[in-house]
């Protein structure tokens, strides 16, 4: 272990998250605040007693796990209540002790943290994905109450990642993927880089084992050469700054494996082609000195154009501050340099946890303006009824790359990458969003679909007659904007959506030949109200009709037996789907059997022509079908073409395939399925294929539609999605319908 240093709270703290060999309670107490050691000792004694005889999958005594979690919390400089809660974080879930018994022995702050962590993992759900989403929702809500809850959970996950080798391979993969998708980005959003880096490297070890081992060997082989170069760079820079009267702390900053791997993947590089593996960090006395030292560095080593970032003047929302520059350094080596104060460095390493070095009360930290993003996130999560889109939305709102834009008065608005002026308007205030009619970016009028860029000055134009449009949902990216738009739209068309929701439920029941009385259906709908946090069944039907709640999911929760019952075989057969004697009227023929041509699969609304076959009745084609074009040219076939038209049938549904080619990006599938849902279109199946060289993805959706107009409407909406290149309705035979 590197030497420990004394903190301002009267404790020695570990210099890294590395667990010391043979960790004991005595070693933990050395790094615990002096005034909390009795509390932590009591928590350990109870945890050891309650977990006595319990073993982890690795075979070690269970107490080692909470002890490790408590060590991580102490190394993040958290308070005694947090460390005690880390020792007790599993007792309510895994032992017989009750909350009341725990409250009799420990302060309310400790009990609240333990209970918050327990709530995140204690509930059971229908599917693993549903459990993941609900756990994430509970975690965000718990964070809003006390940020220490999620820090304890992050430390819990970190130790689980360190012992992942003892789990079955499939479980290892699932835990590692969840860690990389949720917990590491969450640690990053809270600014706790020490945990993020550890989690990413550990996840990579199990998700990309070959790449991890190859990289480990390559880094090890070049370590001596690189360490020598870094040390020589430090000495040259130290001598130069010393001549300027600046005697500062300069250290090497190793790049962690996952960041190297990501750069190799994203840019298609080999290890030898990554030129900025050498990195230095300079710790200054104050902010002014940071800028002064930056000038000295650039006078010693020439900077690379476009590689300077000022996170002091424009801090990240996760509290991070530093100057970044990339230079042609010692011996011509490309070198990345970070310049920051000691306080900035503490925040960079510990994030929100750094506040416990200076503040005793978590409630003060909870009110910090820099956690405003969390309060906004909590607001729309509590308004959500159906959480299925939560994971993708969180990836956009919390975990995605960010853009920083300005109001005309200079206020900074942080938004996810690809955000639009509408997202910007709702970020300012709901009323601004609802009255938005246009926008200027950098004094130039723009379309509301325009994607914002870093540094844009955005002015929202409003009108008292302005109001949200349904097509806004096709291109907004923030959960807040989407939630507010949906709320406004549902409030204006409530009866229509309620009727559509009831029809959707009844249609699914009829497809499964389930004879459910109105009273039984109403009773089943009532059972769903607490699940979706709604007040009455009409609100529930509105959510289903609007597309916020899937009717299939609703039926599954009403009665799993209903959802498990297959559709009636006759309704699913190809012959039944093609044979439609009712909805088509063929000129001059009454009562004749008609079939829809399999080559072009026309649907109501398409222009059609009937073709009289030999011994098989009449086949109906799309008028632009290639087979029909050939028939018109044939002298023998042309007379057998007969005009036809549709008799529209209410509630009739037809299967078509929609093909989409788009720029591949995170959230693409969710964006397209949301468009289909909003147009009341049910998805039978979806196939996706990515072309990593081109950076594109091809998606094919088999869907049920009412008529051709509904298809045209959804194709138009999909073309409005910024990433989409082409959208076509595919035929089974030759070509496409656009």
Structure tokens at 242: 């010393």
CA angle 376, 370, 343 (to 5 degrees): 160
Distance CA 30, CA 6 (A): 10
The CB-side HSE value for 450 (13 A sphere, CA atoms) comes to 17
**Residue 369 is among the residues annotated as catalytic for this protein:** no
**Total residue length of the chain:** 738
Nearest to 155 by CA among 211, 210, 117: 117
Token pair 């035979």: residue: 733
Q: And the tokens for 693? A: 């060289």
Token pair 């570990």 is at which residue?
A: 14
3-class secondary structure for 314-326? CCCCCCCCCEEEE
CA distances to 121, 123, 136, 534, 546 from 531, in Å:
18, 13, 16, 8, 18
Q: How many CB atoms lie within 10 A of CB 276?
A: 15
**CA neighbor of 659 nearest in space, from 731, 569, 564:** 731
* Three-state DSSP string of 204-224: HHHHCHHHHHHHHHHHHHHHH
Residue listed under structure tokens 């870093």: 454
Point out the catalytic residue in the list 18, 35, 45, 93: 93
Mark out the alpha helices in 106-127 (DSSP H runs).
Answer: 108-122
Nearest CA among 493, 510, 496 for reference residue 555: 510
d(CA 181, CA 611): 54
Active-site residue (options: 94, 101, 496, 649): 94
> How far is Cα 13 from Cα 6, in angstroms, rounded to an integer?
7
Please confirm, yes or no, whether 94 is among the known catalytic residues.
yes
Determine the Cα–Cα distance for residues 643 and 381; give it in Å rounded to an integer: 55
In angstroms, the CA 388 to CA 738 distance is 31
For the chain, helix, strand, coil in percent to 5 are 55, 15, 30
User: CA 450 → CA 119, 438, 542, 665, distances in Å?
Assistant: 41, 11, 31, 17
The H or E element that residue 405 is part of is strand 402-406
Residues marked as catalytic: 93-94
């Amino acid at each position: 272990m590197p030497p420990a240093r004394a903190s301002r709270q009267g404790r020695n703290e570990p210099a890294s998250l590395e667990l010391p060999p043979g960790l004991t309670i005595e070693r933990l107490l050395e790094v615990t605040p002096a005034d909390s050691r009795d509390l932590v000792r009591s928590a350990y004694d109870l945890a050891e007693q309650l977990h006595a005889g319990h073993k982890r999958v690795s075979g070690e005594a269970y107490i080692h796990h909470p002890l490790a979690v408590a060590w991580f919390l102490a190394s993040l400089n958290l308070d005694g209540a947090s460390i005690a809660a880390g020792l007790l974080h599993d007792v309510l879930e895994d032992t017989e002790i009750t909350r009341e018994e725990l409250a009799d022995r420990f302060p309310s702050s400790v009990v609240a943290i333990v209970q918050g962590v327990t709530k995140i993992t204690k509930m059971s759900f229908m599917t693993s994905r549903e459990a993941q989403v609900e756990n994430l929702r509970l975690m965000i809500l718990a964070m809003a109450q006390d940020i220490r809850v999620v820090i304890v959970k992050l430390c819990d996950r970190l130790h689980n990642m360190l012992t992942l080798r003892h789990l079955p391979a499939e479980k290892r993969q699932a835990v590692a993927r969840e860690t990389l998708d949720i917990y590491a980005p969450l640690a990053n959003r809270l600014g706790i880089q020490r945990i993020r880096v550890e989690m990413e490297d550990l996840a990579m070890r199990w998700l990309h084992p070959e790449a991890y081992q190859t990289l480990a060997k390559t880094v090890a082989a070049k370590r001596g050469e690189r360490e020598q170069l870094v040390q020589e760079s430090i000495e040259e820079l130290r001598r130069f700054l010393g001549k300027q009267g600046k005697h500062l702390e300069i250290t090497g900053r190793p790049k962690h494996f996952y960041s190297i791997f990501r750069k190799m993947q994203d840019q298609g590089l080999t290890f030898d082609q990554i030129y900025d593996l050498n990195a230095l960090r300079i710790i200054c006395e104050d902010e002014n000195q940071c800028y002064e030292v930056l000038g000295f560095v650039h006078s010693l080593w020439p900077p690379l154009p476009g590689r300077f970032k000022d996170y002091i003047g424009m801090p990240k929302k996760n509290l991070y501050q530093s100057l970044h520059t990339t230079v042609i350094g010692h011996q011509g080596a490309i070198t990345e340099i970070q310049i920051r104060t000691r306080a900035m460095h503490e925040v960079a390493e510990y994030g929100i946890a750094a506040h416990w070095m200076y503040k005793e009360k978590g409630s003060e930290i909870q009110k910090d303006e820099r956690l405003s993003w969390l309060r906004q996130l909590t607001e729309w999560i509590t308004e959500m009824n159906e959480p299925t889109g939560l994971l993708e939305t969180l990836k956009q709102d919390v975990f995605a790359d960010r853009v920083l834009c300005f109001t005309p008065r200079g206020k900074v608005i942080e938004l996810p990458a690809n955000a639009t002026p509408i997202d910007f308007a709702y970020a300012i205030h709901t009323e601004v969003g609802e009255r938005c009619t246009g926008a200027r970016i950098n004094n130039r009028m723009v379309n509301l679909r325009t994607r914002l860029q870093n540094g844009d000055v955005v002015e929202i134009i409003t009108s008292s007659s302005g109001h949200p449009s349904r097509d806004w949902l096709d291109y907004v990216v923030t959960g807040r904007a989407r939630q507010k738009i949906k709320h406004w739209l549902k409030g204006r068309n409530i009866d229509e959506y309620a009727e559509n929701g009831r029809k959707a439920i009844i249609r699914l029941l009829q497809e499964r030949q389930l004879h459910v009385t109105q009273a039984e259906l109403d009773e089943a709908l009532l059972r769903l109200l607490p699940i979706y946090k709604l007040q009455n069944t009409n609100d529930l039907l509105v959510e289903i009709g609007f597309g916020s709640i899937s009717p299939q999911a609703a039926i599954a929760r009403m009665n799993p037996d209903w959802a498990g019952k297959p559709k009636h075989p006759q309704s699913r057969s190809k012959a039944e789907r093609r044979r439609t004697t009712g909805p088509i009227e063929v000129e001059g023929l009454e009562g004749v059997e008609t079939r829809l041509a399999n080559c072009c699969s026309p649907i109501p609304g398409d222009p059609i022509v009937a073709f009289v076959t030999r011994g098989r009745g009449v086949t109906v084609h799309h008028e632009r079908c290639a087979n029909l074009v050939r028939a018109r040219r044939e002298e023998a076939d042309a007379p057998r073409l007969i005009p036809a038209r549709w008799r529209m049938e209410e509630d009739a549904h037809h299967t078509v395939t929609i093909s989409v080619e788009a720029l591949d990006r995170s959230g693409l599938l969710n964006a397209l399925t949301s468009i289909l849902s909003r147009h009341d279109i049910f998805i039978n199946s979806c196939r996706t294929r990515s072309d990593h060289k081109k950076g594109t993805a091809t998606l094919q959706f088999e869907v049920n539609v009412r008529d051709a107009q509904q298809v045209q409407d959804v194709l138009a909406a999909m073309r409005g999605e910024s990433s989409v290149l082409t959208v076509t309705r595919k035929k089974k035979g030759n070509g496409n319908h656009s």
